[in-house]
């Protein structure tokens, strides 16, 4: 089971994914190469959220063949 939710604030939209759902999403996308995934803490004092950050780039033709 994959867990994700959608949130919005005025002018901002977010999708919150657990790691399994994030992996499923990334695996479903073609033409990208995941370079790194890391987790950070929310810097606001009144928040205790943790965030996944993903660094991706467009895959080369050779990488897309794999």
What confidence score (pLDDT) does residue 2 get?
61
What confidence score (pLDDT) does residue 1 get?
58
> What does the alpha-carbon distance between residue 41 and residue 15 come to, in Å, rounded to a whole number?
16
Q: How far apart are the first and last CA of the chain?
A: 27
What confidence score (pLDDT) does residue 57 get?
94
What confidence score (pLDDT) does residue 65 get?
63
Mean pLDDT per 10-residue segment, the chain (66 residues): 74 84 92 94 83 90 70
pTM of the model: 0.69
What confidence score (pLDDT) does residue 66 get?
56
> What does the alpha-carbon distance between residue 33 and residue 22 come to, in Å, rounded to a whole number?
14
């Amino acid at each position: 089971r994959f867990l994700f939710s959608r949130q919005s604030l005025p002018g901002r939209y977010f999708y919150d994914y657990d790691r399994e759902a994030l992996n499923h999403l990334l695996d479903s996308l073609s033409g990208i190469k995941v370079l790194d995934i890391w987790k950070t803490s929310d810097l606001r004092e009144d928040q205790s959220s943790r965030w996944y950050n993903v660094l991706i780039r467009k895959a080369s033709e050779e990488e897309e063949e794999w």
